[in-house]
Amino acid sequence: MKGRYLMDTAPGEAKGTWTVPAVECPSRTVVEVLANKWALYVLGALRQQPRPLRFNQLGRTLPGITQKMLTQTLRTLERDGLVTRTVYPTVPPRVEYGLTPLGHEAGLLTVAIGEWALAHVDHILTARQAFDAQAGTEPRPVG
């Protein structure tokens, strides 16, 4: 690594000049982990919790998720060091999931997306209707 992957930003260049990284840039794999419905929601859900949650407990805060996707998503996030998995050797088994400091940061971003979506959903729904209405009636320019 060491920043040579990002599209060659000249040394004197202004700050805030993030650009989409090259295909080979590992940061892509990170983005693509986050660019996922369930990863976003899991991080967001955990972020809103004061303390780790058990598997089913967490699942209940994620309407519509299946066991499979919850397991799979948690594995991916655990692998990337965003989620902690703590097993208490009791019977029945008790496993708790929480966020690492890094995951806490990531959760902040995903919660922001969730809140943004909620704040603007009306506006967006309206735009969608307008777009769908005019589609088909008006022929698209160019082609």
Partner DNA sequence: CTGGATCCGAGACGATACTG
Partner DNA sequence: CAGTATCGTCTCGGATCCAG
User: Who's near 128: CB < 8 A, 6+ residues apart?
Assistant: none
Among 131, 136, 138, 139, the residue binding a second copy under the rule CB under 8 A is 131
> Smallest gap, in angstroms, from Cβ of residue 88 to DNA?
9
87 part of the interface to a second copy, by CB under 8 A: yes
CB 97 within 8 A of CB 52: yes
Amino acid at the residue 87: V
Of 65 and 106, nearer to DNA (C-beta) is 65
- How many whole angstroms separate alpha carbon 32 and alpha carbon 81? 15
Residue 33: its H or E element: helix 27-34
CB 96 within 8 A of CB 112: no
Among 9, 27, 48, 71, the residue binding DNA under the rule CB under 7 A is 71
64 part of the interface to DNA, by CB under 7 A: yes
Question: Could you list the residues that contact a second copy (CB under 8 A)?
Answer: 1, 3, 6-7, 16-23, 25-28, 30-32, 34-37, 39-41, 44-45, 48, 61-64, 78-82, 87, 89, 93, 95, 102, 105-106, 109, 111-118, 120-128, 131-132, 141-142
